[in-house]
Structures are given as structure tokens and as C-alpha cells.
Amino acid sequence: MTDATWITIISLGVTVFFMLGVPVFLVIGYWVVACSFVLGLTLDNMGAALSDVFTDGFALLAMPLFILTGDLINRSGIARRLSDFAYSCIGWLRGGLAMAALAACGLFAAISGSNSATTATIGSMLHPEMVKGGYDERFSAATAAAGGTVGIIIPPSIIFIVYGFLMNLPISDLFVAGIIPGTLMVVGMQLVCWVVCKVNGWGHLIPLNLNRVLKTAFGAWLGFFAIGLVLWGIYTGKFSPTEAAGVTVGFCIIVGLISLPLYNIMSKGKAEDRAAVDKSFSEMLVVEGFKLTEIPTITMRSAQITGILAPLIAVSVVMQQILSLLGAQEVIGGFVRGMGGYYAVLFTAMAIVFVAGMILESLPVTIILAPILAPIAHSVGVDPIHFSVIFLVGASIGFITPPYGLNLYVASGVTGVPYFRLLRYSVMYMFALLAVWIFVALTPELATVLLPDR
Amino acid sequence: MEMLFAEASALVAALFTNDAWEISEAIGKPGAWIIGFIVTLGGAAIVLAIYRAVPFIERHFERSVMVWSYLIIAGIIFVEVFRRFVLSEQAPWSTTLPPFLFLIMTWFGCSFNIKLRTHLSFNEFRIAMPPTGRMFCLALDAVLWFGICWIVVVTSSRVAANSASNFQILLGTDDVLQWWFLVTVPLAFVLMAARVLSNLLTDIRNYRSGEEMIQTAVIGGE
């Protein structure tokens, strides 16, 4: 048998493993091991890569730190304040709470960098309220899942860090490039949300009240400060993305620890579940915070997520190396280039990313496909930063596309709505995201206009 | 085969010389796979026995390593950025040590996720299977995990031994050797093998008693 036949058999074999529920880390790992045997490569490459991926640079460290940031802002109460603010601004619209959940995802994403953290936080916080407010539980869960997709587009973003690390692009530029497309994704999903809620008559309307908006905006000031700190630091070049992440973690810990006693004094021991509008300005000045003894528990959750994602990155890097040796770059490159000019190449690349996102987690998709597709796109004149945004918006849509839509699993986990029941409404959001994706692909300025050196 | 066993014996002898160069040379030979298998399986059994004997270690060892390495990474970066802005100085190792701590956190975290079975997977078909089918899938997981542990224990030990034989220093320090950190990778994979063994024993027990074998895993839970 030829090598090609063996590789096909191996690929089919690991697909069977995947369908049998074998962890993705093992699926990719055994593909690498089996292909190494077929190609006569030493397995030592695997041991080296599983260490070197982490120790070779400082950039990838931003990933665990932004995951931790997400958990810290959630536990400190900053995330709750951001969602209160979003609701007070758009609660007067039909479907306002669901739209606020999407806006809260965008705000949360501007401090954290993780899609699953965004989905889990906003889903667990707002799903019960949405169901109580008369929304269909499947729709509520699908909203949290879809909202989480912006977690990796609005800066900071874990996956932009990985992309920049792989493609040797400035991560700060990638972050800046994600701002407008990420905002458009939120707006696009809100439009769909509004239409669905209007048609079904879901949600209670609250009057637009300037006092409430100002009070919740004031209450969310720590969140806005954290967003400003990250964006200012990265945009001005004062910190690297990793340092920005470390600074944000430190900021959130300090805020959380200082806030707890202050909040207890200011709220005078009143019940904590009062609505934002019932709280005084002095209570809104600080967040609920957390105790020093809670930090290990918060950190543990983030460490656990890192312990899932980081091994996947490592093993995907080895897979990418094997694919390069197999000449995948030339094969896919030839196929994509054969499509014709700028737009044909762009849309073919997008189709590949979309299909890959349906069956793989976004990290392997990025690590495997970005080094193949980005040079091809560049060769037909697509700006590398613009392509990174196109690529990653496509990868983020993969979070809500079955069969392997990670956010659907996370939303199902935090809301208790079965995975397959989410699909009816997540598909609607997917179409909104596809429309935004195409718009972003056709309009490079959306990604490049905010870059400081353009 | 004789050659393999000779190389394995040579590796054991090299380990007793305490000479990094000798160890690096010996571990690079194919015989290392035999020692690697014994270390992975035997190490897993020993770790599992320790976990059973001292449940405190079972509950807290991986968690403590993960949490402390995470907080130290964040602390170093936060403090050093502050020092750079305020005092215009920064420790030279502040950008080289955190990646190694990240390495440790990652693989101990990977082990902890095996314990909780929270690694990403597509479970929809598996959940719908009859008990025997589920048991088959869980046993398949165990075999595959053990295989990967064996491979990584051998290959990452080679990386650590190579680093030790070259006296690779952590950049920004005078006397901190990189292999001190790199050796945690094979150690973490031995811990993973112990978790795999523990999970397999639990699955077999549940299968025999007719209890539910696939529980819904919760990230952040235990």
C-alpha cells in the first residue's frame, strides 16, 4: 500500500475514534503517532513539541491569563454589572433581555478572551432570568452559546494569540483588528434576536430610564476600567498582550479583595439579589468581590480549562508539522489557487474553515489550517491582518455549528437544555454570523481601519 | 530483541551513574521504550497506591501544582510590569520562567482533567450505547491514554535528558537548569497513567454493578 492509502486509513480510523467519544487530544495524538510510523519519522518530535510549544515563547502565556481574567470578573461581580448596564440600555426593546445577554457577551469578551468562559458566565447568569421572563429555554440557551462566539473576536482573544504566535503576526494588531468585526457580530445577532422575539412575543419590556442607565453604567465602571486598561495597554504598546493579561488578572484580584469589605459596609447587610435600580450609588461604586480564600477555587476552574485547551494546542502543532511534511499545504494550496482570483480564493478558504469548524475545535482548525491558507490568501493580495480576522470569525462560527459546536456543549452544560434541542435557534444565529462574516470578508477596512500604523 | 534488552539494561546502568551525558546517550536508544513502559505502568501503579493510601494527596497534589503555578505566573508578570513602570527595572527571568510554569500547569491540568473526564470529546453516540458498548468505549479510552502516556514519558524524558546533558540554563538566571522543569512532563504523564488506571478500575466496577458509567462532567467541579 502507498503512504497515501495508509494516511487515508489512519484518518478514517481516528474519525471512528472521534465518533466513539475518544477525547480530541487522543484523536489528534494518535493520528500523529500513526502518520509518524507511516512516514518513518521519529516520535521524539512529539515529546519535544509537547514541551517546546509552551517554553519557546512568552506570547502563548496570555491564553491562561485571559481565561483567569474571565473567571475573576465573573466571581467579583463585574460581569453582573456589565450585564445590568446592557439590560438597562436595551431592555425597552422586544427581546431586550436576550439582546442584553448578547451585549453582555460582547462586554465580557472585552475583558476575557475565551468563548467558553463567555458562554458559561453569561449563560449561567442570564438563562434563568430569561426563562423566568418568558423566553423559550432553548432560545435562551442558544443565545448564550451564540453570544460566546464573540469571546474570541472582541479583544483580548485567546485564539488571536494562538494565530499571531503561529503566523508571526503582531498580536496587538490582531486584537485591534477584531474590534469592529466583533461588534458587528454582536449587532448582527441582536437583529436576529429582536426579530425572533418580536415574532414570538417573548420578553417583558422595561422603560428606558436615564437614571437606571446612568446608575448601571456607574456600577459597571470597574468593568469599563478593565476594558480600557487592556485596550489602552495593547493599543499604545505599553504592554504586550501577555503583560496586559497579567495586569488585568492583578487588577481583578485587587478589586475583588478590596471590594468585599467595602461592599458589605455600603450595602449595610441588605439582601444581595436586589435589582440594580434598587441599589444606591454608593453600593454601585464597588462590586461584590470575593475573599482571599476563594482565589484558589477561582484559579482552579481556569487551570482546568487551560488543562483542556493547552494540550490540544501542543498536539495540534505536531499535527500541523506532519501535514506540512505530507505536502498538505501544496495540495490544499493548489486546490484553492485553482479556484481563480482574489474572491474565489477567499471564499474557498472560508468554505474550508467553515467545514473544518463543523467537525473540529477551533484551536486545531487554526493551528492546522492557518499556516496553509494564510500564505495562499496573502499571495492573491489579501491583507494578512484582514485574513486573520476572516479566518477567526469563521472559526468562531464553528463554536455553534454541529456536530462539534463547543459553545453548544457549554451552553447545554450550564443551562441543562439538551444539546440537540439548542440547534433550532442556534441555526438562526449562525445565519446572522455568516452574513457578518461575508460582510467582513468583502470589507477589509473593517479589520484594518483602527490599526495604528495604517 | 536481545539488543533492545541490552539497551534497556544500559539505560538502567546509566541512570545510576548520575551522569547526564551517559543518561542522554542511553535514553536515546530504542531500549528506552522497554524502560518507559515499565516506568509508566509501574509508576502509575505506585502513584495509584499512594493515592489510595493517602487520599489527601489524591485530592490536592495536582490541584496545588496547577493553582500555585498559575498564581505565580500571574504574580510574576503583574509585579514585573509594575516594577518596569514605577521603578524602571525588571527581573531578567520574568519572561523566561513563566513559560516553564505554564508547561507544568498544562500537563498537571491535563492529568486532572483525565480524573474528571472533562477533556473535549463528542459523546453523543457513546451516551446512546448499551452498557457493554459504553464499557468498550471507556476501555478504548484507557488503552489510548495509556499508549500516549507511554510515548510521551519516553520522548519527553529524552528532551529533559538532552537538556541536562547540555547544561541548558533558564535564560535570565545563573544556575537554574531547564531540565528541572522539563522533567515534570514525563512525571505528569505518569500521573495521567495513574488516573487512567483509576478510572478504568472504577468503570469496571460500575459495569459489573450495573451503575451509570458515564457521568456528566462539570468544569470547575469535582
ipTM for this model? 0.94
Question: What residues in A contact B216, CB-CB < 8 Å?
Answer: 413
- Rounded CA-CA distance A49/A56 in Å is 10
Residues in chain B: 222
Q: What is residue B169's three-state secondary structure?
A: strand
The pLDDT assigned to A209 comes to 87
Question: What residues in B contact A407, CB-CB < 8 Å?
Answer: none
- Rounded CA-CA distance B217/A378 in Å is 42
Q: Measured between CB atoms, which of A21, A29, A250 is closest to B121?
A: A21
The pLDDT assigned to B217 comes to 62
Read off the amino acid at residue A26.
Answer: L
- Rounded CA-CA distance B186/B114 in Å is 16
Q: What is residue B103's three-state secondary structure?
A: helix
Q: What is the dihedral of CA A200, A205, A208, A211, to 10 degrees?
A: -140
Query: A209: which 3 cell numbers?
Result: 430610564
Residue among A108, A69, A76 nearest A259 (CA): A76
Say if the Cβ atoms of A302 and B74 lie within 8 Å: no
Taking the alpha carbons of A6, A11, A13, A14 in that order, is the dihedral positive or negative? positive
- Rounded CA-CA distance B212/B54 in Å is 27
Q: Is A221 touching B (CB cutoff 8 A)?
A: no
- Rounded CA-CA distance A69/A255 in Å is 12
**E strand or H helix that includes residue B80:** helix B55-86
H, E, C per residue of chain A: CCHHHHHHHHHHHHHHHHHCCCCHHHHHHHHHHHHHHHHCCCCHHHHHHHHHHHHCCCHHHHHHHHHHHHHHHHHHCHHHHHHHHHHHHHCCCCCHHHHHHHHHHHHHHCCCCCHHHHHHHHHHHHHHHHHHCCCCHHHHHHHHHHHHHHHHCCCCCHHHHHHHHHHCCCHHHHHHHCHHHHHHHHHHHHHHHHHHHHHHCCCCCCCCCHHHHHHHHHHCHHHHHHHHHHHHHHHHCCCCHHHHHHHHHHHHHHHHHHHHHHHHHHHCCCCCCCCHHHCCHHHHHCCCCCCHHHHHHHHHHHHHHHHHHHHHHHHHHHHHHHHHHHCHHHHHHHHHHCCCCHHHHHHHHHHHHHHHHHHCCHHHHHHHHHHHHHHHHHHCCCCHHHHHHHHHHHHHHHHHCCCCCHHHHHHHHHHCCCHHHHHHHHHHHHHHHHHHHHHHHHCCHHHHCCCCCC
Residue among A430, A426, A391, A389 nearest A410 (CA): A426
Question: What residues in B contact A420, CB-CB < 8 Å?
Answer: 124
CA-only gyration radius of chain B, Å: 21
Say if the Cβ atoms of A120 and B100 lie within 8 Å: no
Please list the pLDDT of chain A residue by residue as tens digits (454 residues). Answer: 788 898 899 999 999 998 898 998 999 999 999 999 999 998 998 889 999 988 887 778 888 898 898 889 888 988 888 888 998 998 889 999 999 999 999 988 888 777 877 888 888 888 888 888 889 999 999 999 999 999 889 988 888 988 998 888 988 889 899 999 999 999 999 999 999 999 998 888 888 888 889 989 998 999 899 888 888 887 787 888 888 889 999 999 999 999 988 888 877 766 556 666 677 777 788 888 899 999 999 999 889 888 988 898 888 888 888 888 888 878 888 888 787 788 888 999 999 999 988 877 787 888 888 988 998 898 889 999 999 999 999 999 999 998 778 788 778 877 888 878 888 899 999 999 999 999 999 999 999 998 877 6
Alpha-carbon distance values, A371 to A52, A323, A396 (Å):
18, 10, 17
CA-only gyration radius of chain A, Å: 22
- Rounded CA-CA distance A175/A241 in Å is 9
Contact A183, A106 (CB under 8 A): yes
Q: Measured between CB atoms, which of B75, B120, B178 is closest to A23?
A: B120
Question: What residues in A contact B107, CB-CB < 8 Å?
Answer: 50, 311
> Cell 484594518 maps to which residue?
A448
Q: Measured between CB atoms, which of A33, A60, A246 is closest to B81?
A: A246
Say if the Cβ atoms of A413 and B216 lie within 8 Å: yes
Residue among A424, A414, A369 nearest A394 (CA): A369
Indicate whether B36 pLDDT > 70.
yes
The pLDDT assigned to B76 comes to 95
- Rounded CA-CA distance A179/A389 in Å is 10
Residue in chain B nearest A117 by alpha carbon: B219
- Rounded CA-CA distance A91/A84 in Å is 10
Tally of CA atoms within 13 A in the half-sphere of A176 that contains its CB: 21
Q: Is A60 touching B (CB cutoff 8 A)?
A: yes
> Cell 429582536 maps to which residue?
A194
Say if the Cβ atoms of B99 and A54 lie within 8 Å: yes
Say if the Cβ atoms of A300 and B220 lie within 8 Å: yes
Min CA distance, B68 vs chain A (Å)? 8
Q: Per residue in B190-214, is it b (16+ CB within 10 Å) or e — as a string? A: bbbbbbbbbbbeebeebbeeeeebb
- Rounded CA-CA distance A293/B139 in Å is 39
The pLDDT assigned to A60 comes to 82
Say if the Cβ atoms of A46 and B155 lie within 8 Å: yes
Q: What is residue B177's three-state secondary structure?
A: strand
Q: List pLDDT tens digits, range B129-171.
A: 999 999 999 999 999 999 999 999 999 999 999 999 999 999 9
Query: pTM of the prediction?
Result: 0.87
Indicate whether B221 pLDDT > 60.
no
Residue among B54, B76, B74 nearest A252 (CA): B74
Question: What residues in B contact A247, CB-CB < 8 Å?
Answer: 77-78, 81
Min CA distance, B164 vs chain A (Å)? 14
CA distance from start to end of chain A: 53
Q: Is A43 touching B (CB cutoff 8 A)?
A: yes
The pLDDT assigned to A275 comes to 67
How many beta carbons lie within 10 A of that of residue B46, not counting itself?
Answer: 13
Mean pLDDT of B31-38: 94
Query: B175: which 3 cell numbers?
Result: 544556575
The pLDDT assigned to B127 comes to 86
